[in-house]
Amino acid sequence: MDLQVTSGVIATLLEEAARAAPEECCGLLLGRDGVVTQARPAANVAQDRATRFEIDPMALFAAHKEARAGGPELLGYYHSHPDGHPVPSATDCDHASGDARTWAIIAGGEVKFWRDGKEGFEEMEATLIDQAAR
């Protein structure tokens, strides 16, 4: 399945990663029908934020609630690897749930998208749509 991402989302992801460094940033990917239109930053509540991330459960709860009320769908999650590569780490694989949502990983000034599938992470082709953040 193809993924489409707005240029505004990519800009937000790169900004968030730079802002949080040397710690990991994290947040939610929101949109509809496979089109990510919003990257929503969330607090990283992990103890060791330089090498771990844990999305604030309240942010997740709010996003699920909004989706049920007709708001944007929770399409996935994002986090950064301040000193690494934009590929899932061993820790990421341990924490993957196989729920088929998208994980965006930001590292070294680039963003890569991965599908959290039953068989593990699979890189996704993301098509960029020219649209400002909203």
Active site positions, annotated? 24
Smaller CB distance to Zn ion: residue 24 or 73?
24
Q: b vs e for 17-36, b when ≥16 Cβ sit within 10 Å of the residue's Cβ?
A: beebeebbbbbbbbbeeebb
CA distances from 117 to 34, 97, 98, 103, 111 (A): 15, 8, 5, 11, 19
CB of 79 to Zn ion, least distance (A): 5
Smaller CB distance to Zn ion: residue 8 or 76?
76
Which residues make up the interface to Zn ion (CB under 5 A)? Answer: 89, 92
CB of 129 to Zn ion, least distance (A): 25
